[in-house]
Structure 1
Amino acid sequence: MTMSVLDRAARNRGRLRFARLSDHIRAILDTIREPFVVLDGGLRIRLVNKSFCQNFHLSPKEINGKCLDSLGDGAWKTPALRSWLEAILAKRSDLADFEVDGHFPSIGRRTVMFNARRVEIPGVRRILLLAVEDITQRKQSENALGILHASLRSETMTDELTGLYNRRGYEVLSQIYLDLAQRRGKRIFVIYADLDSLKQINDQAGHQAGDQAITRTAEILKKTFRKSDIIARIGGDEFAVATIENGHDSAAIQMARLQVNIKRHALQNKYTQPIGLSVGVARSNPLGTSSIKELTAQADALMYIEKRGKRRSDIALIPMEAL
């Protein structure tokens, strides 16, 4: 009985501390343009910032104390979302992003991306800080691009060996991609990659081995980038990718993912000649008027700078400060 009373007293002290902190936390969150939600250990909403209320047309009184999965007209009430949040809370998962659809009476259907971080406050139970990004327009654009991709996949737009887009397909679709990004105030990244030592592979092991190296490179690129990205083989050993910026998914993160996939491919497939790439990255200015040809030429030039200075690494990343 004594322990029960002590436990209740400790919980009450924790609640009082959190109540005192709430105004301070809310004041900080209200300065952030991105919608934010604070969840307690039971995944109930304890705080929302002004941006969240404005974006989803909800008031704090309507949702404070409710479980997060009660929003979205019940569409957020999925075991997968709750399991993900519980895993983040218990530090069983490093997977920080989760995508979910939902319907809101005043604004209609929305697709959102959650980004969760567990926060420890001394004397208070752990909480989850949840950034909420409305990606509805981006998903609509990606779906439209997917339809466009399917309609344009023909012999005149694709590379026969790899199934990727060829130069013509790349130039047509990437320009559409760039125009779309500029209308939304977004930037795109153009990644130009050159397969190292293809001539040496052809000379030493034959052209069939060279073709295998090209198709293996195409598979690595497809595993690294999104289906909605424009991935192309634009020359014998040269590849290009156009990808639109996506919140936390920066060019540096994509290049790190490419590094990991190259190394993973080398470990899983014991080829005599591992895949090596020299890479250049160029990015558009959302307010600029660059064409896709200009951006590709910039990425190509950066790739050649990297290739000349390269020594014995599998892949080297162009420093973002140089872009």
Structure 2
Amino acid sequence: MEIMNNDAVRNVVNDVSDQLRRALFQAREVNAANYIHVVLDPNHPVAPFDSLHPDHLEQRVPSVKFHRSMRADFQHQPELCPLVVTLYSPGDRGYRDEELLLETVDNAVSRCASVNGSYVCGWIATTLNGEEFARHIAVSSILSHPLSGRKVLPWFEPHRLALIVDRYPSFAWSRLTNISSWWFVDMLQQLRVVSPPEVGRNNIIDARSTLLPLSGRQVSAVWDDQRRIREAKLVAMAMRKAGLSLPEFPEVTLDKVVRQAYENGLYGQQDVVFFAMNCLTLSEDWFLHPVVQAALEALAGTDELTLTDILAGHSDAVLHEIASYESAGSAPK
């Protein structure tokens, strides 16, 4: 994703808004019982003066309905719990607050690659009303771990949802009970949709069904994925500052290269970002070059150097060779 001027950003917001409106209209046409909600996450807050701040939502004219989803880990801080804001109810002639819909799109686009996380998590077509859906999010966010007991996985955050849907689709579908579609803006500022597969004739999963559990190994893998999110966001920010485009399906692709950095023994933030960016911008085998392999081995025994420090000591000719390196086992391009 490149840094864009205000006109370009406005064009993206308008495009996403148009796509979303068409998709939401279709969802309402397909099932007249569908509500349209937007989920806001005060754990990744907006400024107090922002029109989407909870204090301002309460004062909007026309009034809007919203319910808090009481996360199990934020019971003592309810102001950090997600908000389910109802944009449309069955029988409405249109959106009660047209401007609110546009403001949520604007915020989602502007915050999609923020290291501070997304405030607008997504727009949902569901047969659950706002209060029911808020309860569902709270219950479905609880994940049992065989060793550490219950934890809260805020799967509804766009980056997390993108990873879970890609890696554990059945687990994701069980979280999307009674939801026909969930739309979110990814790190490329593109509108994405998650739609559970059809279940029976009504495309509805019984709300009373047990949330699909994961094995102990899968739960550990899910948490590992979640821990890498901040580094992935830092890579995206570094690429954006450098004027470089992010890859398609950025959440999954960025996680893959950050995981490669970990697998090569890198855990310092600077080295992880440097390694991941090179995987995306140089040859995919750049780190298999003998000079880089020697640098990685040298780092294993010290905390005083970084990978960039070591490589900076080599000549331009060697660095150019590293940048274009392809191992003998590489697939032809």
Q: What is the TM-score with the length of structure 1 in the denominator?
A: 0.25
Which has a greater percent of strand? 1
Higher relative contact order (CA 8 A, sep 6+): 2
| Bigger Cα Rg | 1
Q: What is the TM-score with the length of structure 2 in the denominator?
A: 0.25
